[in-house]
């Protein structure tokens, strides 16, 4: 394929067979051995696929790639790209119809259940940023005439190579009393050439880039940022001069799968990106030094916002199942107060799913033909998801009771002088004591562990803080018909 030598493909990986645009798990792993600069606890990592803090998360993601070839999941994880007739990863399917959106939604449900929703940037997520650029390429092209062709090329390369993408958007945290122009770490263009631009500065977050292939680079509009900070682009994870510093890992390589059924599967790595004069080829620079384009951020991000909220809605269904299983195992489901608490979680899940279903049904295409869910309903769903999430997690803890603090490790349970006594003393309702212990091991990982807390913090930032969502909802929710009805009833002119 011609795209194998494309600068966005950090390492070409040979593929063949009937579906050359797909990759299996091993091919995905191989694509990460591209000479990227990843620094873990001060060390340069020679191979991210073998680094303990990254490997288990990579292995979990590799399972999603293998599912593309599994007859049980093939119709969920892959789709036919209509222009080429090639089978592609569903995450790279450009939604042109409501059914396309629903197809992507089924993929989100699958990846959420496969990862238990703790990977905020699974392979089906990062694709929404290049596709978001495509959805509003007609607006970007008004400022940069070649932008649409460049964006279409970017999407096609992603499809052909089954790339794992992420977003590179968040600015690094610094003294807020400084103006954007004064921030020393602001990512900016320090040289603009005919063949591309050179970037210097830093970006925060960048979840999963150490375990992915490419990033979609954007700037959030800040009234005080100078023009040299305004950029929309794409770049590979191994771009020369790009250094990714991972945060401290919150899961451990030696965790027993029984004691930590969720955390033992690894985590999604966040990190700070340092741009030390990173060159971005012109073909992947969609906009530069144009603050007008930055005003399109909330438009471009609509598909990403829907993906986030949809994942959270399916994660909420997991929460509802978890709390029901807890009270079933404890035999407390007959207690009215317990049933009321379970219903809180059910209502959270049902309400969030209702927002997403309604948003899909009210979807409309942009001028470029990309189908987008109703933005107001998605925004309301995102607000609901993060405002209520802390309460939902606390309900799970309260219903679990002492089961969370008196968990017994597997090796202790397997002692001949202890295990039989635990089986006798700790039975659940129609459940063995050990299976009850296994359940609370999982609830711990979901709600109490360092990884569980990292995910909770991530969701709050990832879905956008509530104050920002409230302001956005105020702007986009159409109240005109309601105002007209009230005016008529009040007899106002």
Residue with tokens 């105002």: 483
Q: With cut-offs at 50, 70 and 90, classify the pLDDT of residue 463.
A: low
Q: Answer for the pair 265, 452: CB distance below 8 angstroms, yes or no.
A: no
* Spatial distance between the Cα atoms of 342 and 359, rounded to a whole number of angstroms: 26
Over 60: is that where the pLDDT of 2 sits?
no
Over 90: is that where the pLDDT of 223 sits?
no
* Spatial distance between the Cα atoms of 184 and 368, rounded to a whole number of angstroms: 38
Q: Which of 217-231, 319-333, 348-362 has the lowest mean pLDDT?
A: 217-231
Contacts of residue 399, Cβ cutoff 8 Å, sequence gap at least 6:
323, 326, 327, 330, 332, 338, 341, 342
Residue with tokens 């990033």: 215
Residue with tokens 């509003």: 136
State the average pLDDT for the chain.
Answer: 95
Over 60: is that where the pLDDT of 414 sits?
yes
Over 60: is that where the pLDDT of 220 sits?
yes
The H or E element spanning position 198 is strand 196-203
Three-class SS of residue 434? helix
* Spatial distance between the Cα atoms of 350 and 40, rounded to a whole number of angstroms: 40
Tell me: the pLDDT tens digits for 365-400? 999 999 999 999 999 999 999 999 999 999 999 999
Q: Answer for the pair 463, 309: CB distance below 8 angstroms, yes or no.
A: yes
Ordered alpha helix ranges (H), 162-230 = none
State both tokens at 196.
């591309």
What pLDDT is stored for residue 4 in this prediction? Answer: 56
Q: Mean of the pLDDT values across residues 96-104?
A: 97
Over 70: is that where the pLDDT of 3 sits?
no
Q: Which of these, 168, 86, 87, 155, lies nearest to 121 by C-alpha position?
A: 168
Q: With cut-offs at 50, 70 and 90, classify the pLDDT of residue 493.
A: confident
* Spatial distance between the Cα atoms of 269 and 207, rounded to a whole number of angstroms: 6
* Spatial distance between the Cα atoms of 388 and 460, rounded to a whole number of angstroms: 11
Q: Which of 234-238, 281-285, 339-343, 464-468 has the lowest mean pLDDT?
A: 464-468
Tell me: the pLDDT tens digits for 27-68? 999 999 999 999 999 999 999 999 999 999 999 999 999 999
Q: What is the pTM of this model?
A: 0.95
Q: With cut-offs at 50, 70 and 90, classify the pLDDT of residue 332.
A: very high
Q: With cut-offs at 50, 70 and 90, classify the pLDDT of residue 1.
A: very low
* Spatial distance between the Cα atoms of 439 and 350, rounded to a whole number of angstroms: 23
What pLDDT is stored for residue 357 in this prediction? Answer: 98
Q: Answer for the pair 295, 87: CB distance below 8 angstroms, yes or no.
A: no
* Spatial distance between the Cα atoms of 80 and 78, rounded to a whole number of angstroms: 7
Q: With cut-offs at 50, 70 and 90, classify the pLDDT of residue 12.
A: very high
Over 80: is that where the pLDDT of 221 sits?
no
The H or E element spanning position 201 is strand 196-203
Q: What is the DSSP string of 327-382?
A: HHHHT-TTSHHHHHHHHHHHHHHHHHHHHHHHHHHT-EE-TTS-EE--HHHHHHHH
Tell me: the pLDDT tens digits for 265-322? 999 999 999 999 999 999 999 999 999 998 898 899 999 999 999 999 999 999 999 9
């Amino acid at each position: 394929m011609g795209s194998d030598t494309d600068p966005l493909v950090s390492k070409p990986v040979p593929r063949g067979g009937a579906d050359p645009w797909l990759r299996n798990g091993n091919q995905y792993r191989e694509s990460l051995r591209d000479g990227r600069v990843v620094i873990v606890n001060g060390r340069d990592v020679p191979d991210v696929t073998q680094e303990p803090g990254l490997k288990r998360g990579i292995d979990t993601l590799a399972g999603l790639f293998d599912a593309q070839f599994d007859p049980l999941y093939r119709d969920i994880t892959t789709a036919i790209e209509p222009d080429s007739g090639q089978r592609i990863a569903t995450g790279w399917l450009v939604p042109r119809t409501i059914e396309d959106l629903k197809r992507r939604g089924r993929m989100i449900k699958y990846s959420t259940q496969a990862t238990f929703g703790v990977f905020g940037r699974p392979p089906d997520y990062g694709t929404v940023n290049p596709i978001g650029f495509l959805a509003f390429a007609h607006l970007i092209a008004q400022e940069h005439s070649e932008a649409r062709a460049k964006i279409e090329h970017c999407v096609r390369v992603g499809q052909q190579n089954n790339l794992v993408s992420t977003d590179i958007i968040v600015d690094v945290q610094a003294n807020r009393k400084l103006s954007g122009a004064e921030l020393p770490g602001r990512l900016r263009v320090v040289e603009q050439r005919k063949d591309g631009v050179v970037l210097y500065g830093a970006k925060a977050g960048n979840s999963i880039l150490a375990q992915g292939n490419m990033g979609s680079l954007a700037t959030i509009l800040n009234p005080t940022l100078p023009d040299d900070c305004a950029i929309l682009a794409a770049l590979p994870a191994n771009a020369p001069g790009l250094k990714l510093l991972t945060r401290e890992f919150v899961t451990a390589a030696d965790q027993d799968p029984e004691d930590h059924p969720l955390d033992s599967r690894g985590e999604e790595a966040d990190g700070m990106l340092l741009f030390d004069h990173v060159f971005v080829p012109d073909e992947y620079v969609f906009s530069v030094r144009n603050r007008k384009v930055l005003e399109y951020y909330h438009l471009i991000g609509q598909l990403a916002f829907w993906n986030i909220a949809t994942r959270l809605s399916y994660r909420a269904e997991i929460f509802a199942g978890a709390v029901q299983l807890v009270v079933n195992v404890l035999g407390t489901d007959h207690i009215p107060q317990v049933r009321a608490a379970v219903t809180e979680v059910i209502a959270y899940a049902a309400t969030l799913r209702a927002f997403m279903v309604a948003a899909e049904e009210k979807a409309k295409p942009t001028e470029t033909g990309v189908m987008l869910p109703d933005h107001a309903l998605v925004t309301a769903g995102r607000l609901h998801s993060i405002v209520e999430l802390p309460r939902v997690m606390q309900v799970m803890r309260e219903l679990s009771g002492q089961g969370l603090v008196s968990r017994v490790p597997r090796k202790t349970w397997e002692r001949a002088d202890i295990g039989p006594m635990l089986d006798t003393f700790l039975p659940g309702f129609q459940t063995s004591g050990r299976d009850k212990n296994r359940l609370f091991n999982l609830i711990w990982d979901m709600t109490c562990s360092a990884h569980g807390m990292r995910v909770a913090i991530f969701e709050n930032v990832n879905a956008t803080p509530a104050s920002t969502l409230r302001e956005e909802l105020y702007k986009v929710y159409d109240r005109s018909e309601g105002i007209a009805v009230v005016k008529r009833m009040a007899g106002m002119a």
